[in-house]
């Protein structure tokens, strides 16, 4: 088994676990898409902890009422 196949299997297991933990049931096509985009989403989340952001307050909150008062 090559690294790509191992990575895909790990991503599939991770997505299965995340969905089960959230109590979500999705269609097979949605599940396949989640598995396909998971590596990109994981990389983006990991990038938030890059050394160049040390000491920075990241705007991770969202207030939908801002600008609509």
3-state SS class at 53: helix
pLDDT of residue 48: 77
What global pTM score does this model have?
A: 0.65
pLDDT of residue 22: 96
Q: For residues 69 and 67, what is the distance between their CA atoms, to the nearest angstrom?
A: 6
Q: For residues 31 and 40, what is the distance between their CA atoms, to the nearest angstrom?
A: 15
pLDDT of residue 69: 52
pLDDT tens per residue across all 69 residues of the chain: 566 688 889 999 999 999 999 999 999 999 999 999 999 999 988 887 777 777 777 666 767 777 665
Q: For residues 3 and 9, what is the distance between their CA atoms, to the nearest angstrom?
A: 10
pLDDT of residue 46: 86
């Amino acid at each position: 088994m090559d690294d790509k196949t191992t990575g895909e299997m790990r991503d599939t297991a991770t997505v299965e676990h995340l969905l089960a933990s959230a109590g979500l049931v999705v269609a097979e096509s949605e599940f396949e898409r989640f598995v396909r985009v998971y590596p990109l989403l994981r990389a983006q989340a990991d990038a938030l902890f890059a050394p160049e952001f040390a000491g920075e307050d990241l705007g991770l909150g969202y207030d939908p009422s801002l600008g609509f008062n």
